[in-house]
Amino acid sequence: MSSPNGPRVVVTGMGAISPLGVSVPSLWDGLVNCRNGIGPITQFDARRYECRIAGEASEFDPRAYLPPKAARRMARCSQMAVAAAREAAEQSELTGSRVDPERIGVLIGTAMGGWEKADEGTQQFRNSRSPRGNPFALPASLPNMPSHHVSQELQALGPLLTISTSCATGTQAIGEAGEIIRRGAADVMVVGGVEALIRDFCIAGFSGMRALPTGFNHSPERASRPFDRDREGFVFSEGCGVLVLESLEHARARGADIMAEVLGHGASADAFHIAQPNPQASGAIRAMRWALHNARVNADEIDYINAHGTSTPINDPLETLAIKTLFGKRAYSLPVSSTKSMLGHPLGASGALEAIACIMSIRTGMLHPTRNLDNPDPACDLDYIPHRARSAPVRTVLTNSFGLGGQNAALVLREFNH
């Protein structure tokens, strides 16, 4: 099915860094086997904090991807973006192919960017007597630096953008990258989301918002529990997901392996509260409805929903309400699961990693489970695939992301049909 606004957009490569490993196969193996990616924080001394757990990408070593000097001058988010983009480009066979570099664009989103570099530079400056600061600190901290470093890595000379829409970033980035291809501004877009800021000020700040769980410090594997009665909050994590999008004509011309099709997307605002979603879930409903409309699919064509599913007391029942409002009675027979139950919540990276999980479901016919769903909340009464992966025919999927500031985004992906 074609887009209403131009050429069909397909996925030809994927790359992932996550708490479950440093590749797409490791991510998918962990998800379908319901593995835990949450553990005690090791990136700083968290003993004095109310929440002392996070989803760390502990297997990621930037030295495996970058020269030592380059790695030192980059924020961790940029390091991860380069690594994931390299995996995606290699799978797509984009590197070394005869693709016009001026027709390759990059859009890597992030919610918070390389804030740690600004913090480090600020502390160094204030503790020294020098009138000059670290010349690398401020540039490294900018949120557009992951996109820059990926463009430099791939020598992509086309459109270069960054999206920062909090937790909706990764999903919205994919949708907007598809639109860039549809309007003819690029043939290829390397797109995704990244977050890598497990730092004391983030844990303290989100704890101050009462957004993080505090009762699972001694059992971190149980902390992320979307739709469960005993959930306390989201588990802060890190990671990066990158996809290579192409116009169908361009992908076919170079013989690329087509993994899935990006049918459409929707984005909306709550215009309600800086942190709390609209209590009628109206923004989430609009984003999902507009995504279906943009994709030209009916609600009864959706085979699976990858939920935003944060494990917060407010989000989970409201997302449930949104799904039931849009899908009616069919909502009760529609499988839904939360990737964050195993990864935690890597903010700007979450939507990109969840899109990768959706594409793997389309390709394998497997739906990953929701971990820790031991005692379902009565207000969360849908089929959330608890504990074990499920085999099911999967052709068309909807994936949701809802963020701070009332940012809502939804994306429709489909099995590629020649």
Question: Does 345 qualify as catalytic in the annotation?
Answer: yes
Residues 126 and 176 in one domain: yes
* Catalytic residue chosen out of the listed positions 149, 250, 345, 368: 345
Q: Which domain holds residue 103?
A: 9-260
Question: Does 77 qualify as catalytic in the annotation?
Answer: no
Residues 91 and 120 in one domain: yes
Query: Among residues of the chain, what percentage have pLDDT more than 70?
Result: 99
Mean pLDDT of 210-230: 98
Task: Give residue 131's pLDDT.
Answer: 87
CA distance 316 to 308: 8
In a domain, 181, yes or no: yes
In a domain, 4, yes or no: no
pLDDT tens for each residue of 349-383: 999 999 999 999 999 999 999 999 999 999 999 99
Residues 37 and 143 in one domain: yes
Task: Give residue 275's pLDDT.
Answer: 85
In a domain, 341, yes or no: yes
Q: Of 243, 260, 277, at which residue does a domain stop? A: 260
pLDDT tens for each residue of 286-332: 999 999 999 999 999 999 999 999 999 999 999 999 999 999 999 99
Report field, pTM of the whole predicted structure over 0.75: yes
In a domain, 2, yes or no: no
Q: What's the CATH number where 183 sits?
A: 3.40.47.10
Residues 375 and 387 in one domain: yes
C-beta contacts of 36-40 below 8 A and 24+ residues apart: 36/220, 36/221, 36/342, 36/371, 37/237, 37/342, 37/343, 37/344, 38/220, 38/221, 38/223, 38/224, 38/235, 38/237, 38/342, 38/344, 39/220, 39/221, 40/217, 40/220
Quickly state the pLDDT bin for 418 (edges 50, 70, 90): confident
* Residue 126 neighbours by CB under 8 Å, 6+ apart: none
Task: Give residue 46's pLDDT.
Answer: 97
In a domain, 170, yes or no: yes
In a domain, 3, yes or no: no
* Catalytic residue chosen out of the listed positions 34, 77, 167, 202: 167
pLDDT tens for each residue of 119-154: 999 999 999 988 888 889 999 999 999 999 999 999
Domain count, the chain: 2
Task: Give residue 5's pLDDT.
Answer: 59
Extract the tokens encoding 96: 């070394």
Query: Among residues of the chain, what percentage have pLDDT more than 90?
Result: 94
* Catalytic residue chosen out of the listed positions 149, 265, 308, 368: 308
CA distance 115 to 137: 9
Quickly state the pLDDT bin for 3 (edges 50, 70, 90): very low
Residues 62 and 107 in one domain: yes
Residues 201 and 228 in one domain: yes
Residues 223 and 330 in one domain: no
Check pLDDT > 60 for residue 43. Answer: yes
Residues 256 and 293 in one domain: no
Residues 238 and 285 in one domain: no
Question: Does 149 qualify as catalytic in the annotation?
Answer: no
Residue 84 one-letter amino acid: A
In a domain, 223, yes or no: yes
Residue 405 φ/ψ region, left for φ over 0, alpha for ψ in the -120 to 50 degree band, beta for the rest: left
- Residue spans of alpha helices (H) in 257-410: 282-295, 315-327, 340-343, 350-364
